[in-house]
Structure 1
Amino acid sequence: MVPVFRAVALTVAFMASPVAAQSSAITETTTTFTFNLNGTEMTVSRTGLSCPSSCIQPMQAALGVTTLAELEVIAFLQEAVGSGTGLLVDVRMPDRFSSGSLPGSVNVPVATFQPSNPYRDDLLSALGVTNLATTPDFSNAFSLVIFANGPDDTGAVDAINSLLDAGYPAGKINYYRGGASSWTTLGLNLSVGQ
Structure 2
Amino acid sequence: MVPVRRAVIAAALVSGTSIYAQSATITENASAFTFTMNGTEMTVTRSGPSCPSSCIQPIAVAAGVETLGELEVIGFLQTAVSNGSGLLVDVRMPRTFSSGSLPGAVNVPVATFLPNNPYRSDLLTALGVSNADNAPVFGTAFTLVVFGNGPDDGNARDAIQNLLVAGYPTDKIKYYRGGASTWSALGLNISVGQ
TM interval, shorter chain, is 0.7 to 0.9
Q: Name 1:100's counterpart in structure 2.
A: 100
**One-letter amino acid matched to 1:39:** G
* Conservation of the 8 A alpha-carbon contact between 1:54 and 1:152: yes
Change (3 A) 1:64 1:75: same
Q: Name 1:81's counterpart in structure 2.
A: 81
1:92-147 deviation line (CA, Å, top 9, x unaligned): 00011000000000000000001111110100010011122332100110000000
Aligned residue pair count: 174
**Residues 123-138 of structure 1: pairs in structure 2 closer than 5 A:** 123-138=123-138
Structure 2 unpaired stretches of 5+ = 1-20
Cα deviation for residue 23 of structure 1 reads 4.2
Once residues 135 and 97 of structure 1 are traced to their aligned partners in structure 2, the CA distance between those partners, rounded to angstroms, is 32
* Conservation of the 8 A alpha-carbon contact between 1:91 and 1:156: yes
Higher CA-based Rg = 1
- Give every structure 1 segment of 4 or more consecutive aligned residues whose post-TM-superposition deviation is greater than 3 Å: none
Once residues 28 and 134 of structure 2 are traced to their aligned partners in structure 1, the CA distance between those partners, rounded to angstroms, is 38
**Residues 19-168 of structure 1: pairs in structure 2 closer than 5 A:** 23-168=23-168
Once residues 133 and 164 of structure 1 are traced to their aligned partners in structure 2, the CA distance between those partners, rounded to angstroms, is 15
Structure 1 unpaired stretches of 5+ = 1-20
* Conservation of the 8 A alpha-carbon contact between 2:88 and 2:105: yes
Once residues 90 and 131 of structure 2 are traced to their aligned partners in structure 1, the CA distance between those partners, rounded to angstroms, is 26
Once residues 132 and 176 of structure 1 are traced to their aligned partners in structure 2, the CA distance between those partners, rounded to angstroms, is 25
TM-score normalised per structure 2 = 0.88
**One-letter amino acid matched to 1:35:** F
RMSD: 1.1
1:121-180 deviation line (CA, Å, top 9, x unaligned): 100010011122332100110000000000000010000000001100000000000000
Identical pairs, percent: 70
Once residues 170 and 75 of structure 1 are traced to their aligned partners in structure 2, the CA distance between those partners, rounded to angstroms, is 19
